[in-house]
Amino acid sequence: MANKEEKFVELVHRVKACKRCPRMTDSARVLGAGCGSLDAKVMFIGEAPGRLGADASELPFHGDKSGHNFESLLEQVGLSRYDAFVTNAVLCNPKDENGNNATPSSTEIANCAQFLKEQLELVDAPVVVTLGAVALRATALVTAHALTLKESVRKAHPWAGRQLIPAYHPGQRAMVHRSFANQLADYQFVAEAVRRGVGPGRRKLSAKQSRASQTVGAAARVLLEESGELSYFALHKLLFMAEVRHLEATSQRLTEGYFVRQKDGPYCVELHASRLAALIPGCFTRTVGRHLLVSLGQEDLLAKASLVGTLSEVGRRTLSEVAAKYGPLPAGKLKTAIYLTTPMRELLRKEKVLRMNLFNSAVLPAP
């Protein structure tokens, strides 16, 4: 019998070829390695990929305001994408006649229900969280239930051999009905359910602010201190290179960032352009042509890195060495050096064997 990964690849191929919904013809089919771990302990189901988010990034809940809120909520309860599988009730972005996001119709939700069923069975996560009323309705098409969002939110309901926890959609519109603070309490409830279901052997989930952003912010800051101004592209690549070298030297991750493979190489999810200012206080960005450039202000340079206490001595040294050796390289040469690292070579080999690209799949092991 085919293993989990082969079954998933076969499912992804069928989804990519699906033409059941006429208005989704030009939308990305957002199912792939970027959805997360096939052994996840929690599965999040949203409504549909957003036009500015997953339809563009092909990483569910990433790149738009909903994605930003979702990642923030996960972070604040100590959950990481390494713990989760993230998908949507419909796998393609529905657009209205003006090209804006639309709510998927009942027919479209029903069209995609078989794919949702297969994902639920394949991942088999003990905790399933629906984000919004549409996702909750879609789960009822897979295995019947009579839950409504208003009455069943933030409660664990036995469902199809799992716990089903209804939550609100993290988009701005839903915040009117459920404030960010309330949603944060919902995610704390989810993290606790995951922790209980996971057992003592697994990495402990922290109720504090996730270390992923802190460590990524601190590491990016060191790179900027050492290099002066860096392109956004180089910042991601240098951070990845430092991770690889640190991993090789110590068998441990340098940061807790989530790195995925994108068309132009590894990309750190926490380091999204819209979050730079929050992640690296005092950083400046400017655009030259098509390039986003990032640097630290003069005062910040003098203050010399208040955040770096988060990093070990070896981590700091690795970052300095990487900045000195790879920072001055032009983009093409930097990209080549990155593609020659062991994790990237292994991923490219895997793509060859599976005969598919693994865009948005995790490139590094979980910290």
Q: How far is the CB of 123 from ligand SF4 (least distance, A)?
A: 17
305 near ligand SF4 (CB under 6 A):
no
56 near ligand SF4 (CB under 6 A):
no
Q: How far is the CB of 17 from ligand SF4 (least distance, A)?
A: 9
135 near ligand SF4 (CB under 6 A):
no
20 near ligand SF4 (CB under 6 A):
yes
Q: Residue 92 or residue 322: which is nearer to ligand SF4 going by CB? A: 92
12 near ligand SF4 (CB under 6 A):
no
Q: Quote the tokens at residue 221.
A: 């800051």
Q: How far is the CB of 108 from ligand SF4 (least distance, A)?
A: 6
Mind spelling out the 3-state secondary structure of the chain?
A: CCCHHHHHHHHHHHHHHCCCCHHHCCCCCCCCHHHECCCCCEEEEECCCCCCCHHHHCCCCCCCHHHHHHHHHHHHCCCCHHHEEEEECCCCCCECCCCCECCCCHHHHHHHHHHHHHHHHHHCCCEEEEECHHHHHHHHHHCCCCCCHHHHCCCCEEECCEEEEEECCCCCHHHHCCCHHHHHHHHHHHHHHHHHHHCCCCCCCCCCCCHHHHHHHHHHHHHHHHHCCEEHHHHHHHHHHHHHHHHHHHCCCCCCCCEEEECCEEEEHHHCHHHHHHHCCCEEEEEECCEEEEEECHHHHHHCCHHHHHCCHHHHHHHHHHHHHHCCCCHHHHHHHHHCCHHHHHHHHHHHHHCCCCCCCECCCCC
Q: Residue 103 or residue 182: which is nearer to ligand SF4 going by CB? A: 103
364 near ligand SF4 (CB under 6 A):
no
4 near ligand SF4 (CB under 6 A):
no
58 near ligand SF4 (CB under 6 A):
no
64 near ligand SF4 (CB under 6 A):
no
Q: How many residues bind ligand SF4 (CB under 6 A)?
A: 13
24 near ligand SF4 (CB under 6 A):
yes
Q: Residue 16 or residue 150: which is nearer to ligand SF4 going by CB? A: 16
37 near ligand SF4 (CB under 6 A):
no
Among 15, 131, 138, 212, binds ligand SF4 (CB under 6 A): 15
Q: How far is the CB of 329 from ligand SF4 (least distance, A)?
A: 41
Positions 77 through 106 that interact with ligand SF4 (CB under 6 A): 90-92
Q: Residue 109 or residue 311: which is nearer to ligand SF4 going by CB? A: 109
Residues that bind ligand SF4 (CB under 6 A): 15, 18, 20-21, 24, 29, 90-92, 108, 111-112, 115
